[in-house]
């Protein structure tokens, strides 16, 4: 079985340098971290002192001498000033524009689409396509999945037998996308005609005309809109879409970009008996999000977040990683997405590749020095030390790990040495909404907001894994203490969370 719940028990061997765990050293490490962070300030203090002493020794004669010297070298002075002005203009013009997240919304389906465990098993049994061992397998996966009993399946699955059709898939897409966009436009108070860039991503459903064309049609967006539709890019496509929107916002000034992330369950339920392809039935659920990005400087005041970094890592060059999440037909011709047994290992590898690039961008100097020191020690002196895993808790205040499944969250919690509160948003999103694919990171962000934990200056790290195999990260900075927007998907149930997951 490729997904098995991991416990923190078997972790000891991977922990670097056991003595770091002791409390005393924790405080030493913290002290070291503060020292390095404020090193520049500490060094500046003596420098400032020297300058002040020197300035106090200056008398009017010296200043007069300085003025005469400048007058003689007028050309040089003017040239120098011109260079400074020119340099600063070029700097201002070519600086990357800040991308602000004005608002976002996540779709919540109507309550009659909630599927409890019993109904999932009942419908699976009555469909008649699954044999006894497949039913039992799905039941076990469902129980250990971390999903609660309020996740949503599309309308087509309410029928016996399920009414799978392209029309039903379109209907699901319409309900989710339009539901999210209606809320977004209402909350952000933006007119559809002001949107200049539209990116829609949906991995498994790509009709013609595209879903982005469907959005343009419904909201009567303007004729010169830059629209994109990303298909087949898996659960990490949400971050890819944000990256694309960010790039487009560099070349198109003073405009809004809308990023819609969703998945489509209707035509992608697997009705066969191959175990590796049954798992998505138990995990994937209906959900979608819509995000409004802006490069207008006036939006800085009302925006919630600012996009700081996007780091994309693709492991597709490796054959095993490429085949790890693979959509194919089984021996009976039934289509499904098969997950390989190496999924966790490959995910771990992709994560390592991603944080190797991300680390230097976001980690404080103290952590980078430690990492560098252990790397040097290992390479040059062949010392038997474990590679140092930087403490990302010092770089980020909130983590939104794609809710791919309980095993993924457990694995990351262990690898990044996170505390339960850091992965709470991911676990609770998995419990309440299931795996909504590319939009799950937005549900998690909404959870943290609804809990009132977003403070100004906080940094958020969104990590998404997806087929390919890809690991993509987005880093946001909180611009103001954020409250949950109206019609948040957690509005009516946040008080019930966090819940204890069933072991």
Catalytic residues: 235, 314, 398, 402, 431, 435
CB of 213 to another protein, least distance (A): 27
Closer residue to another protein (CB): 113 or 186: 113
Least Å from the CB of residue 332 to another protein: 24
Beta strands 335-339 and 325-329 are antiparallel
Binding-site member from 15, 38, 116, 320 for another protein (CB under 8 A): 116
Q: How far is the CB of 97 from another protein (least distance, A)?
A: 46
Q: Per CB under 8 A, does 118 bind another protein? A: yes
Site for another protein (CB under 8 A): which residue of 13, 60, 112, 380? 112
Structure tokens at 467: 């087929």
CA distance 492 to 496: 9
List, in order, residues 6 or more apart from 216 with CB less than 8 Å away: 198, 225, 227
Q: Is 139 in the site for another protein (CB under 8 A)?
A: no
Burial of 251 (0-12, 13-18, 19+ CB in 10 A): exposed
Concatenated DSSP letters of 267-330: GG---S--HHHHHHHHHB---EEEEEEE--GGGGTT-SEEEEEEEEEE-TTSHHHHTSEEEEE-
Q: Select from 158, 327, 368, 417 the one that contacts another protein (CB under 8 A).
A: 158
Span near another protein by CB under 8 A; candidates 156-164, 192-200, 357-365, 378-386? 156-164
Residue 97 or 163: which CB sits closer to another protein? 163
Three-state DSSP at 232 gives: coil
Asked if residue 171 binds another protein (CB under 8 A), the reply is no
Question: According to the binding rule CB under 8 A, does residue 150 interact with another protein?
Answer: yes
**Residue 375 lies near another protein (rule: CB under 8 A):** no
What is the rounded distance in angstroms from the CA atom of residue 149 to the CA atom of residue 461?
Answer: 28
In angstroms, what is the minimal distance from the CB of 132 to another protein?
12
Do 17 and 385 contact (CB within 8 A), yes or no?
yes
Written as six digits, the tokens of 131 are 């044999």
Residue 125 contacts another protein per CB under 8 A = yes
Applying CB under 8 A, which of residues 159, 209, 369, 496 lies at the interface with another protein?
A: 159
- Pick from 29, 33, 163, 378 the residue near another protein by CB under 8 A: 163
Does position 121 interact with another protein (CB under 8 A)? The reply is yes
Stretch that binds another protein, among 87-95, 114-122, 432-440, 480-488 (CB under 8 A): 114-122
Closest distance between another protein and the C-beta of residue 112, in Å? 5
3-class SS of residue 220: coil
Which of 160, 167, 369, 421 binds another protein (CB under 8 A)? It is: 160
State the DSSP code for 252: S
Residue 421 CA to residue 418 CA, distance in Å, equals: 8
b vs e for 330-354, b when ≥16 Cβ sit within 10 Å of the residue's Cβ?
Answer: beeebbbbbbbebbbebbbbbbeeb
Q: How far is CA 15 from CA 9, 207, 268, 292, 305, in A?
A: 12, 48, 40, 41, 34
Residues 342, 324: Cα–Cα separation, whole Å? 7
Only segment of 113-121, 180-188, 254-262, 460-468 that touches another protein (CB under 8 A):
113-121
Please tell me whether residue 496 binds another protein under the rule CB under 8 A. Answer: no
Give the binding site for another protein (CB under 8 A).
111-112, 114, 116, 118-119, 121-123, 125-126, 149-150, 158-160, 163
């Amino acid at each position: 079985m490729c997904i098995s719940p991991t416990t923190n028990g078997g972790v000891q061997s991977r922990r670097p340098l056991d003595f770091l765990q002791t409390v005393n050293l924790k405080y030493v490490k913290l002290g070291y971290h503060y020292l390095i962070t404020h090193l520049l300030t500490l060094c500046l203090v003596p420098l400032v002192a020297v300058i002040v002493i020197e300035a106090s020794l200056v008398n009017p004669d010296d200043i007069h001498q300085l003025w005469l010297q400048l007058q003689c070298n007028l050309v040089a002075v003017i040239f120098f000033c011109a260079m400074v002005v020119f340099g600063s203009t070029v700097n201002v013009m070519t600086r990357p524009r800040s991308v602000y997240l004005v608002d976002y919304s996540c779709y919540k389906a109507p309550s009659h689409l909630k599927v409890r465990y019993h109904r999932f098993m009942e419908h699976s049994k009555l469909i008649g396509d699954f044999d006894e061992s497949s039913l039992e397998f799905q039941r076990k996966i469902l129980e250990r999945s971390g999903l609660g009993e309020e996740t949503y399946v599309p309308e087509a699955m309410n029928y016996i037998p399920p009414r799978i059709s392209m029309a039903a898939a379109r209907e699901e897409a319409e309900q989710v996308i339009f539901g999210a966009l209606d809320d977004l436009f209402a909350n952000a108070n933006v007119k559809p005609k002001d949107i200049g860039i539209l990116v829609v991503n949906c991995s498994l459903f790509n009709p013609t005309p595209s879903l982005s064309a469907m959005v343009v049609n419904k909201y009567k967006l303007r004729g010169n809109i830059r629209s994109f539709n990303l298909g087949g890019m898996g659960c990490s496509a949400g971050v890819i879409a944000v990256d694309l929107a960010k790039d487009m916002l560099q070349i198109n000034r003073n405009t809004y970009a809308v990023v819609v992330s969703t998945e489509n369950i209707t035509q992608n339920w697997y009705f066969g008996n191959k175990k590796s392809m049954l798992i998505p039935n138990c995990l994937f659920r209906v959900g979608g999000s819509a995000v409004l990005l802006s490069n207008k400087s006036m939006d800085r005041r009302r925006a919630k977040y600012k996009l700081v970094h996007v780091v994309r890592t693709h492991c597709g060059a490796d054959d095993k990683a490429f085949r790890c999440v693979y959509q194919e037909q089984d021996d009976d011709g039934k289509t499904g997405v098969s997950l390989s047994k190496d999924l966790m290992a490959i995910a771990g590898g992709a994560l390592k590749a991603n944080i190797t690039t991300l680390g230097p961008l976001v980690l404080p100097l103290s952590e980078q020095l430690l990492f560098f020191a252990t790397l040097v020690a290992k390479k040059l002196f062949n010392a038997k030390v474990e590679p140092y895993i930087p403490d990302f808790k010092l770089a980020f205040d909130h983590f939104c790990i794609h809710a791919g499944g309980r095993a993924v969250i457990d694995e990351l919690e262990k690898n990044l040495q996170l505390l339960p509160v850091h992965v709470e948003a991911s676990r609770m999103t998995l419990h309440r909404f299931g795996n909504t694919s590319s939009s799950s990171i937005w549900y998690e962000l909404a959870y943290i907001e609804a809990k009132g934990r977003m403070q100004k200056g906080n940094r958020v790290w969104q990590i998404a894994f997806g087929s390919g195999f890809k690991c993509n990260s987005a880093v946001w900075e909180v611009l103001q203490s954020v409250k949950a927007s109206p019609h948040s998907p957690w509005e009516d149930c946040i008080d019930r969370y966090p819940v204890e997951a069933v072991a």
